[in-house]
Structure 1
Amino acid sequence: MREDEVCKVVRYDELAILFGNRLTVKFKSPHHYDMIRAKLRLIGRFLLALESEGVEVQDFQDALRPQRFDDAIKGINAVAGLRNGKYSSPATAFSLGLLLKDATKLLITECIKKEDNQRKKNAQDFLKLLESELNASINKTVTENWSERQRQKKVILPSREDIKILITFLHKKRKRLVENLKETFSYHDWLELSKSTLVSILIFNRRRPGELERSTIDDYNGYVKIDSLTNKEIYDPLSEEGKKCAREYVRFRTRGKKGRTVPVLLDKFMNVCVDVILKGREEAGVSKTNPYIFGIPTDHKTPKYLRAYRLLKTYAEDSKAKCLSTLKSTELRKHIATTSVKLNLAEFEVENLQQFMGHADKIHKEYYRQPLVERDILNMSKLLTFAQGDRSEFHDIAANNIDQNVELPVEESSQEHTAPDSPTANISRKVYKRAWSTPEKKCVLQCFHEDIRKGVTPSANKYSRVLAENLVLHNRNITSLKAYINNLINRRDKIPERTQARRNYWTTPEKKAIRSEFSHHIQNQRYPSMTECRISIEENPDLQRRTPKKIWHIYIYMFIKWAFPHIFRVNFSQFGIFCALSHWCQTTTAPGRQFGT
């Protein structure tokens, strides 16, 4: 923390020091140290703001009393720059409110340890005031100011031309550096190759800078690829274009925001560049204890690594792109999210993109995906014109400007259903679906065999587990998998016949009825006739659900089991054997006659 008035205020403040120590225990990674320093400086700015407002407080603890609540609100407003009902920094006001809550909870904990009941009661009352009054006093204004800023903020996304200029510049630079390093090692070339490779991977994957710059060597060593040796079931059904793509890229996974695991794709040349970087680490003087791929030498014990966001800005300037302000990591992420809207991707493809980018669904749609002005003007204007009653004008322009879906690998296509009076009813739109491959179908039938046989929809947890454990289903999501299984359940002809077989087991009352009705036949070793079987069904309620043929079959089974108990050790699960045997008896011995006569 730099030496200034803010640092002097918090340096010897007991609660501020305890708060900082607690944060260092919770956040152990070195990249969190900047965040901890920022929170401590925010405490110092808050105390200086109270002093400037004429509030005399001894320390941070003294400010967290119910009597000081109104003064605390004034301090938050002063730090966040409240002017004419608007904050110059809404995020600071919101963060400071949360910080005061956390600090008050910590103070309560310390009071409990010291058995200081009076100070604990004051802190609890102050916390209640924060929870009840902060939303009305601070957070409502923060939300309104933030929404207004987002609405008035003009977001300019990077153009594909500028992105291509930057990518070409970096590719040429990396190619030259790799050739130089293969001839002779130079620390300058090695460092420049590390920088340019980091930025190239960031632009291609549209990852957050911190995710890539903190990727570890262990993460990289666990990379996987698709080929005939490692993933034969996935590789073989692919088309030639798909196999070419599979040979070109590898994937490793690293830690993303909030502990999420996010993928990183590398093409062949990026893979070569990373290998060259790792090979030259020892000559470059990078410590063996430095776990990062893009680690750099340092005299400190804490490992250091390259900072991607600074390098991206530097290379954007060196590449002589036209609009430098748009070539930033967040704008690049917004660009790919917005491009997916223009392509009219299917829902499952949007979900795949969200998972790859490490976005929550709401954040992806509300923050990264920008509204398209061409869609609002060209498409919505048609619907509004139609609603005004000008039907002819709508039909004149609809066919020329309506969005066209991007064709995907298809097996079958379906026509979207529109209402007869809908303005788009006369416009043909095709929805393309990805065909289920044979390995995918086999995997689904194997994993959900019992659910399909019973006609029961599996749980969401089972869907997620099966998708995670089976690489062959990597192109599917829960929605498509659920739809496919529901179709199998509804159309039983798609299921192998063995999964449809349902045995109608004989109950104990039915067995007793058979013994009672045909005991005379068993003693005399005679077959019952079909007429006798029909009569037994009519007279005995327990046999109503059986046919005469079934009665005759079970009689044969019971007789053989009684006559030859040591030879035929069978049960009802082997009923098919005796059906065949009874068929042989029928063809050799007429009903009503004795065996062997």
Structure 2
Amino acid sequence: MTRDDVTECAQNDKLIVALGEIWLMQNVGNRLRRRNITSFRLRLAGRLLLLIRDKLQLMESTMSSVLIPKNFDLIVESTLDVCKENQEKELQNPSSAIKLGYDLSRLASLKLGFSIKASDEKLKQEATDFLRLMQLEWSVKVTKPARVTLEERRFNKEKELPHPEDIAHLATYMVEALKTLDLSEPNEAIFREAVILTQARLLLYNRRRPGELESLRIDTYLSRADLDETDLSMRQSLSDFEKKLLKTQDLVEIRGKTGRGVPVLIPLETQRVLEFLSNKAYRDKGGIKAENPYMFANKSSGVVRAGDSLNEVKERLGAKLKYPKRILATNLRKYTATIAHVLC
């Protein structure tokens, strides 16, 4: 986390630290992102506690001491302030208000658990009453206006899909760049260029969520299935063109949203580069740590962001793209869904 007053407040509060431990455990299957998810939740709770302290003029207050029934309305007001409610009673960050609702319930439940273990009837009653107030009033005072704001934004948002010519320009550029990429003398610059081009190409080709693609591990790639091994009964129903595609592509299954497996097709032009990226000797020369298990590794223990790779490729094409701001991972998936609907 960023080192500031919010971080210090969160890390020194017993209840907020316990909340962080819960978020780490809840996201145990998402090792790549759970640190970021937990950090965000801790900082959100820390910002709320700092604001409550300021309103109460009690700078040493803990989250446990402020989660009491008589402070409920103050906590509602502070939550709306954290989410930047304007004069028109519209929240600037409505999703944060919804998240805080869930986390305040967790924090009160943690307080209840600690009080039961310590046989502290006073704290137990405070936590029980606060949780009851959350059930009775929070949805009306915070959750409902937050969801209404989100729904209005979705409705009023311009729904602009990527231009077909822009997608064609991107695909052509990446295919040619991957085919001509010189991998004979690996170094840090070459390795990063290989990561950027391959990530962007797979993102455009498969229309996957960036986080899913980033989580591709080397062992998962090396154990991938050959599409030529597809069930014989299925192959008999394929056209000649589809059978040819089977011979030029590989298939790898990666961890998707909620932990389910999702397929990623590996087109021919990326296969050579992926072999390069998974080679231990080349990774060493690229400055990648031996313990980093991810295909698209950065020089620390994480990964290069797929969205950043796509943005860099867009910048290289510059004026050749008509509407570069429309080319986002979410819009690419919507584009695919729209085309599929038109063809049905």
Question: TM exceeds 0.5?
Answer: yes
Measured in 1, the distance between the counterparts of 2:285 and 2:141 equals: 58
Alpha-carbon deviation of 1:21? Answer: 2.8
Does the 8 Å contact 1:64/1:123 carry over to 2? yes
**How far does the alpha carbon of each residue in 1:417-467 deviate from its partner, in whole angstroms, 9 at most, with x for none?**
xxxxxxxxxxxxxxxxxxxxxxxxxxxxxxxxxxxxxxxxxxxxxxxxxxx
Does the 8 Å contact 2:198/2:274 carry over to 1? yes
Percent identical pairs in the alignment equals 29
Match of 2:277 in 1: 277
Match of 1:207 in 2: 208
Does the 8 Å contact 1:248/1:267 carry over to 2? yes
Change (3 A) 1:184 1:17: closer
Gaps of 5+ in 1: 346-597
**How far does the alpha carbon of each residue in 1:568-590 deviate from its partner, in whole angstroms, 9 at most, with x for none?**
xxxxxxxxxxxxxxxxxxxxxxx
Residue 70 of structure 2 corresponds to residue 67 of structure 1: yes
Match of 1:142 in 2: 146
Does the 8 Å contact 1:217/1:291 carry over to 2? yes
Match of 1:162 in 2: 166
Does the 8 Å contact 1:50/1:74 carry over to 2? no
Measured in 1, the distance between the counterparts of 2:163 and 2:230 equals: 38
| 1:544-583 matches, cutoff 5 A | none
Match of 2:7 in 1: 7
Match of 1:92 in 2: 96
Alpha-carbon deviation of 1:296? Answer: 3.3
Does the 8 Å contact 1:226/1:235 carry over to 2? no
Change (3 A) 1:297 1:82: closer
Counterpart of 1:296 (choices 278, 295, 298) is: 298
**How far does the alpha carbon of each residue in 1:157-211 deviate from its partner, in whole angstroms, 9 at most, with x for none?**
111111111111212221221xx21x43343222201210011001110111111
Match of 2:127 in 1: 123
- Stretch moving more, 73-82 or 8-17: 8-17
**How far does the alpha carbon of each residue in 1:33-91 deviate from its partner, in whole angstroms, 9 at most, with x for none?**
11111111111211222234346472111111111111111111111122322112111
Change (3 A) 1:55 1:94: farther
**SS of corresponding position for 1:86:** coil
Change (3 A) 1:191 1:236: same
Change (3 A) 1:242 1:8: closer
Does the 8 Å contact 1:226/1:234 carry over to 2? no
Measured in 2, the distance between the counterparts of 1:11 and 1:245 equals: 53
**SS of corresponding position for 1:253:** strand
Structure 1 segments (4+ residues) deviating >6 Å: none
Match of 1:21 in 2: 21
Does the 8 Å contact 1:219/1:254 carry over to 2? yes
Alpha-carbon deviation of 1:118? Answer: 1.5
Match of 2:317 in 1: 319
Change (3 A) 1:265 1:249: same
**SS of corresponding position for 1:53:** helix
Does the 8 Å contact 2:20/2:38 carry over to 1? yes
Give the paired residue count. Answer: 336
Does the 8 Å contact 2:196/2:310 carry over to 1? no
Change (3 A) 1:237 1:323: closer
**How far does the alpha carbon of each residue in 1:193-245 deviate from its partner, in whole angstroms, 9 at most, with x for none?**
12100110011101111111111112212322343x66444334533223212
Measured in 2, the distance between the counterparts of 1:41 and 1:290 equals: 27
Counterpart of 2:305 (choices 297, 304, 307) is: 307
Gaps of 5+ in 2: none
**SS of corresponding position for 1:305:** coil
Measured in 1, the distance between the counterparts of 2:3 and 2:102 equals: 26
Measured in 2, the distance between the counterparts of 1:306 and 1:241 equals: 35
Does the 8 Å contact 1:211/1:257 carry over to 2? yes
Change (3 A) 1:243 1:115: same
**SS of corresponding position for 1:286:** coil
Does the 8 Å contact 1:295/1:304 carry over to 2? yes
**How far does the alpha carbon of each residue in 1:496-548 deviate from its partner, in whole angstroms, 9 at most, with x for none?**
xxxxxxxxxxxxxxxxxxxxxxxxxxxxxxxxxxxxxxxxxxxxxxxxxxxxx
Match of 1:331 in 2: 331
Counterpart of 1:36 (choices 20, 35, 38) is: 38
- Stretch moving more, 234-243 or 167-176: 234-243
Measured in 2, the distance between the counterparts of 1:295 and 1:153 equals: 35
Measured in 1, the distance between the counterparts of 2:26 and 2:145 equals: 31
Does the 8 Å contact 2:227/2:251 carry over to 1? no
Alpha-carbon deviation of 1:287? Answer: 3.4
- Normalising to structure 2: TM-score of the pair? 0.91
| 1:101-120 matches, cutoff 5 A | 101-120=105-124
Measured in 1, the distance between the counterparts of 2:238 and 2:158 equals: 43
Q: Which amino acid aligns with 1:48?
A: L
Does the 8 Å contact 2:194/2:277 carry over to 1? yes
Say what the alpha-carbon RMSD is for the aligned residues: 1.9
Structure possessing the higher relative contact order (Cα contacts under 8 Å, 6 or more residues apart): 2
Q: Which amino acid aligns with 2:192?
A: L
Larger Rg: 1
Q: Which amino acid aligns with 1:40?
A: L
Q: Which amino acid aligns with 1:318?
A: R
Measured in 2, the distance between the counterparts of 1:88 and 1:155 equals: 20
